[in-house]
């Protein structure tokens, strides 16, 4: 039985999120919250959501920033702070203040995590939080004549130790400090630290909670997905979440997410809904056009059922789909079939049939992508012309290069099966 208009929204949300609950269990997520996020009113709610993820079996490494907090402390002490290349020049005079601020933040975060999720069954849950000297660092040195003093870069992440700690159901807290083999302490940039930790662990996701919600397009709309190789690094500061996510993807992290700490519940919405709320950056697109398989039959049936009901498509029983499945292409989006099309060759002619896209995904040229992929397959088979029989979508096909035809233009086998009661229009395209 399908959902109806009387289904409570929270029930629908839970049903829709359940596949992600199972998919995320046992996965490793590195979550970075910058210093501004720690100051924001939403941070206690973010902590609650992180505790919830932990309770669902997600292995979490939480990396935090400290820039505004350090700025305030230095200003109060009358110490002038300078930056270069987007990072702070940490002098010996500043280092004790950096250490004090980071230590205080770490203690505050540990305290909040120890509370569990307030006003919920997770309140008072025993969340074991671990932090320590797991980051080896080295001095950034002198660059273009500028001495960065005690500002460092990551030399090595003790990934084996982190993996062991995560396997013991601990939540790892990583602060932006690193240590050399000689015991020197270095101030690190939090966003770069999070990326290096994610790469070293082979994390499944790297999540940046920053002030902006993802990457906007030219009209200000958040871009749902970007492939790493489509991002021009010169367009972003080197230590920005976008640049670091791009770098992490190029080094093997499958998915990075950019969301805002300002939006309550953004972490859960990004992780437990199909389209999320921010921008996902991937090494390869998580939406693929591919040949259909037997496992796709149920998804195709669910997709085309409304179109069969309104007469747009001829009804195909499951048994028919099982015999025809090798003729289908599908668009899979994070495990869901959101588009399909079939090609039935007749010598140098072929029928394009069952072209459909999910109603929630009809505004991003998926129909055009399916048409192009089907035409490419037709060419490899030596097909010269393709035709469609349609009752509802003739205008769309004519907009994409099809011209009106008649039943006499159909291959003999198809002409014999033409349903005159349905009275479908014949449209033809030469490849």
Assess whether 146 and 74 both reside in one domain. Answer: yes
User: Residue 30: inside a domain, yes or no?
Assistant: yes
Last residue of a domain, one of 255, 285, 315: 285
Residue by residue, pLDDT tens for the chain (431 residues) are 445 566 777 777 777 777 788 889 999 999 999 999 999 999 999 999 999 999 999 999 999 999 999 999 999 999 999 999 889 999 999 999 999 999 999 999 999 998 765 555 455 567 899 998 899 999 999 998 999 999 999 999 999 999 999 999 999 999 999 999 888 999 999 999 999 999 999 999 999 999 988 888 888 889 888 888 889 888 999 999 999 999 999 898 999 999 999 999 999 999 988 778 999 998 766 678 899 999 999 999 999 999 888 888 888 899 999 999 999 999 988 778 999 999 999 999 999 999 999 987 876 678 888 999 999 999 999 999 999 999 888 999 998 999 999 999 999 999 888 888 888 999 999 98
CB contact set of 35 (below 8 Å; sequence gap of 6+): 64, 65, 66, 67, 68, 69, 70, 190
Domain count, the chain: 2
Tokens of 188: 């690190």
Give the range of the structural domain holding residue 352, as residue numbers without chain letter: 288-430
User: Residue 227: inside a domain, yes or no?
Assistant: yes
Assess whether 211 and 315 both reside in one domain. Answer: no
User: Residue 1: inside a domain, yes or no?
Assistant: no
User: Residue 161: inside a domain, yes or no?
Assistant: yes
User: Residue 321: inside a domain, yes or no?
Assistant: yes
Assess whether 272 and 322 both reside in one domain. Answer: no
Query: Distance of alpha carbon 307 from its chain centroid, rounded?
Result: 30
Burial of 70 (0-12, 13-18, 19+ CB in 10 A): buried
Assess whether 189 and 147 both reside in one domain. Answer: yes
Assess whether 229 and 243 both reside in one domain. Answer: yes
Single pTM value for the model: 0.72
CATH number of the domain to which 316 belongs: 3.40.630.30
**DSSP one-letter code for 350:** E
User: Residue 39: inside a domain, yes or no?
Assistant: yes
User: Residue 4: inside a domain, yes or no?
Assistant: no
Query: Can you tell me the distance from the alpha carbon of 284 to that of 270, in angstroms, rounded to the nearest whole number?
Result: 18
State how far the alpha carbon of 96 is from the alpha carbons of 103, 186, 267, 380, in Å: 10, 11, 33, 68
Assess whether 272 and 369 both reside in one domain. Answer: no
Query: Can you tell me the distance from the alpha carbon of 85 to that of 38, in angstroms, rounded to the nearest whole number?
Result: 24
Assess whether 138 and 274 both reside in one domain. Answer: yes
CATH number of the domain to which 16 belongs: 3.40.1160.10
Best CA proximity match to 427, nearest among 383, 399, 397 = 397
């Amino acid at each position: 039985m399908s959902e109806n208009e009387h289904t409570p929204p929270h029930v629908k949300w839970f049903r829709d999120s359940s596949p992600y609950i199972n998919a995320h269990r046992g996965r490793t997520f590195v979550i970075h919250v910058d210093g501004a996020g720690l100051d924001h009113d939403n941070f206690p709610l973010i902590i609650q959501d992180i505790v919830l993820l932990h309770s669902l079996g997600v292995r979490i490494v939480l990396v935090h920033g400290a820039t505004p907090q350090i700025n305030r402390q230095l200003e109060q002490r009358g110490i002038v702070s300078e930056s270069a290349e987007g990072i702070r020049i940490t002098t010996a005079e500043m280092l004790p203040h950096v250490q004090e601020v980071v230590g205080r933040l770490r203690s505050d975060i540990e305290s909040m995590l120890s509370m569990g999720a307030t006003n919920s069954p997770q309140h008072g849950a025993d969340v074991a939080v671990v932090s320590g000297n797991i980051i080896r660092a080295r001095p950034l040195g002198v660059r273009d004549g500028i001495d960065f003093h005690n500002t460092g870069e990551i030399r090595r992440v003790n990934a084996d130790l982190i993996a062991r700690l995560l396997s013991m159901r601990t939540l790892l807290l990583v602060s932006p400090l690193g240590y050399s083999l000689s015991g020197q302490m270095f101030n690190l940039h939090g966003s770069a630290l999070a990326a290096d930790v994610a790469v070293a662990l082979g994390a499944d996701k790297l999540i940046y909670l920053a002030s902006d919600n993802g990457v906007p397009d030219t009209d200000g709309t958040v871009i749902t997905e970007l492939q790493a190789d489509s991002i021009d690094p010169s367009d972003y500061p080197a230590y920005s979440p976008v640049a670091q996510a791009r770098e992490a993807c190029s080094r093997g992290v499958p998915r990075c997410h950019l969301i805002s700490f300002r939006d309550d519940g953004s972490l859960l919405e990004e992780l437990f809904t199909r389209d999320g709320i921010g921008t996902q950056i991937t090494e390869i697109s998580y939406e693929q056009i591919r040949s259909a398989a037997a496992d796709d039959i149920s998804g195709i049936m669910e997709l085309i059922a409304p179109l069969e009901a309104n007469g747009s498509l001829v009804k195909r029983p499951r048994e028919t789909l099982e015999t025809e499945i090798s003729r289908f292409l599908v668009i899979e989006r994070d495990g869901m079939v959101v588009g399909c099309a079939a090609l039935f060759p007749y010598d140098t002619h072929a029928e394009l049939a069952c072209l459909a896209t999910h109603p929630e995904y009809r505004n991003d040229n998926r129909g055009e992508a399916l048409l192009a992929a089907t035409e490419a397959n037709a060419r490899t088979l030596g097909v010269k012309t393709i035709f469609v029989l349609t009752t509802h979508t003739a205008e769309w096909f004519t907009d994409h290069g099809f011209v009106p035809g008649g039943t006499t233009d159909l291959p003999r086998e198809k002409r014999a099966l033409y349903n005159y009661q349905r009275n479908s229009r014949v449209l033809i395209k030469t490849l």
